[in-house]
Chains A and B, each alone.
Chain A
Amino acid sequence: MKKEAVRIHNLTWGYNGRNILDSITLTITGGSFTGIIGPNGAGKTTLIKLLLKLLSSEKEKIIIQSEDIVSLSRKELARKMSYVPQTPGVDLGFTVEQIVAMGRNPYLKYFEQESASDRAVIRQAMEETQIFHLKDNDISRVSGGELQRVIIARALAQEPDILALDEPTSHLDINHQIRILSLIRSLSTRKKITVIAILHDFNHAIEYCDNLFLMNNGRIEAYGNPEKVITPEIIKKIYNLNVKMEKNPFTGKPYMVMSI
């Protein structure tokens, strides 16, 4: 029995009297690749931000590796879980290596320099994401695909058990989309990192994810393995689109096609 990485119990969250999330209950298995899909405004990003304590929630709602996030300090949480935001800002002037090195912050005291072992972690994170050759480049001058890998490297330098990504492939061309997702998949498999990713491409979700949560109007509409979640009936109900499931000749997995 695999350990559970995340457990959310009856989480409702909103502001100005409007609920963005409505009694969400879910568990995410350790080491799995979990996708969150759903229409715009479904509450996907809000859910991820609550998990990372970027928005505050009540006690006993979100449990990360059997600890209530309310009682974890930011540094403690940052050692367990790291984040690849949707639009990483361009941070003019820092080098790629400096950005990745910031991933060690949760482990360092004030005024403490990175030790040899910290530097080894930083280097390994850059090698795993294939950006080591860019280490002295200015971050504002790398391409979109490279930037995304730099941000993933920084998240890896946090040595997290859980990696949360918000649409990691938006703004990327199809080649880089596949490269980034394959990278995340292999990290998840090799390093036993639990991956929680908001994805917008259903076929990517089917190919790469072990489990999916389909959100709509702040609720979880369907969950389970991708074949169970992405069905013509559910897609019709939520997106009002007629789709058919075919078979991907390369991987043998289901492939969704749309009637336009």
Chain B
Amino acid sequence: MSLSRHRKIIFALLLISLSGIMLIVSTVGSVSIPVSDVFKVLISPIIPSQGESLKNSFKIIILLVRLPRIILSVITGMGLAVSGAVFQGIFRNPMANPYILGVSSGAAFGVALGMTLQLQISFLGLGAVPLSAFFGGMLTALVVYFISGNGRSIFSLLLSGIAMGFFLSALMSLIMYLNRDQLENIVYWSMGSFNAASWIKILISGPVILLGSAVIMIFSKDLNILILGDDTAMSLGVAVRAKRLFFLIISTIITASAVSASGVIGFVGLIIPHTLRILTGPDHRTLLPLSMISGGIFLLLSDTIARTLLSPTEVPVGIITSLFGAPFFIYLLHKRRKALV
């Protein structure tokens, strides 16, 4: 069918743009590196002779600083966009986002608690902050699921998530209020940043986010049917509660991994899937892959702005995503409203 070919072309174009942008942004920063040198650094592991003429500092900057940061921001953007699309589908609500089950407030609470207790744990090379974020987020989603009556209805799930979010935010504020020496660290973490990006984080978050997204895409047809409501979906042969739980688990794991790698980055998981839905329609078979690539591009660009705008100072990336994303989103909504009239 021509329509699906059309979408494959869009997908390929987005993928090419993503690679191109990754290459270009790796040249910018406090030290400007020519694109030819970046290219040489990248192929030097395969063709060692290409690396001989390079400055050693270039290699270190590219391989140990910029590349991990670029890759991590792309993967995080992908994960947040995919899980945002899933939550919007499950909750049949365009205002849903990856943090709707309280993963972000749970993770932030976990981090605040960890910093205050000066937790010294590590696992697979990950330190206390990402670990307490991941488990704080996962645990919160689990508690929300149970207090909602095991996800009996999407409304009780939604309301439980909101209530839990407020509760944990209050607890976190209390911790910050009582421990002002950690205030700055906690606040800075919760605004999100990739300045602590590392290959270890990529090696752990990357497979989780990419595999999780792939698994969700295999079942994207069910997600389409879930939008029609529980009764209709069941009558079309979908085991609604089991499928919903499955989607919730996978997208919560994706979200918690993204948050643990880079803090709470807002707006990506809300606007990217919603924008793509406006542009290409609600079919998740198209929506999910396109959201994934666009989320990667969006967060990569945001992070590039975050680290260059006020260089050498860095702006938390969460500020950039909302600062630049919100006006674009408003423009899009406005345009759509015109189109509907």
Contacts and interface: CB of A to CB of B under 8 A. Distances in A.
A43 interface: no
A98 interface: yes
A111 B229 CA distance: 21
A110 interface: yes
A41 B231 CA distance: 19
Contacts of A78: 235-237
A249 interface: no
B234 interface: yes
B175 to A, nearest CB: 42
Contacts of B232: 83, 85, 88-89
A75 B225 CA distance: 13
Contact of A105 (B230, B236, B277, B281): B236
A162 B221 CA distance: 24
A110 B228 contact: no
Interface stretch (A20-28, A49-57, A125-133, A190-198): A49-57
Interface string B216-240: 0011011011011111101111110
B282 interface: yes
Nearest to A107: B237
Contacts of B227: 91, 94
B219 A54 contact: no
A110 B282 contact: no
Interface string A69-110: 000011101110111010011011111001000110110101
Contacts of A83: 231-232, 235
A158 interface: yes
B5 to A, nearest CB: 13
Contacts of A93: 277, 281-282
Nearest to B228: A91
Nearest to B287: A93
A8 to B, nearest CB: 18
B235 to A, nearest CB: 4
Contact of A82 (B222, B235, B282): B235
Interface string A155-190: 000100000000000000000000000000000000
Given A91-B228, A102-B228, A111-B218, A52 B282 contact: no
A54 B225 contact: no
B282 A103 contact: no
Nearest to A52: B235
A77 B230 CA distance: 16
A49 B189 CA distance: 50
Interface core residue of B222, B225, B232, B237 (most chain A CB under 10 Å) = B237
B283 interface: yes
B234 A52 contact: yes
A160 B121 CA distance: 58
B13 to A, nearest CB: 22
B110 to A, nearest CB: 34
A102 B235 CA distance: 11
Interface in A107-122: 108, 110-111
A79 B224 CA distance: 19
Given A94-B281, A110-B219, A111-B218, A54 B237 contact: no
Contacts of A77: 237
Contacts of B224: 94, 98, 102
Interface string B101-145: 000000000000000000000000000000000000000000000
A85 B237 contact: no
Interface string B254-291: 00000000000000000000000100011100000000
Contacts of B230: 54
B282 A108 contact: no
B234 A110 contact: no
A78 B230 CA distance: 14
A85 B228 CA distance: 11
Contact of B237 (A88, A89, A94, A105): A105
Contacts of B229: 89
Contact of B282 (A73, A85, A94, A158): A94
A49 B218 CA distance: 29
Q: Which of B221, B232, B236 has the most CB of A within 10 A?
A: B236
Nearest to B243: A74
A102 B228 CA distance: 10
A85 B238 contact: no
A81 B221 CA distance: 20
Contacts of A154: 236
Residue in B221, B222, B238, B239 with the greatest tally of chain A CB atoms within 10 Å: B221
Interface of B: 218-219, 221-222, 224-225, 227-232, 234-239, 277, 281-283
Interface of A: 49, 52-54, 73-75, 77-79, 81-83, 85, 88-89, 91-95, 98, 102-103, 105-106, 108, 110-111, 154, 158
Q: Which are the 6 A-B pairs with shortest beta-carbon distances?
A: A78-B237, A83-B235, A106-B237, A93-B282, A75-B237, A105-B236
29 contacts: A52-B234, A54-B230, A54-B231, A54-B235, A73-B237, A74-B238, A74-B239, A77-B237, A78-B236, A78-B237, A83-B235, A85-B231, A88-B232, A89-B229, A92-B282, A93-B281, A94-B283, A98-B281, A98-B283, A102-B225, A102-B228, A103-B236, A105-B221, A105-B225, A105-B237, A110-B218, A110-B222, A154-B236, A158-B236
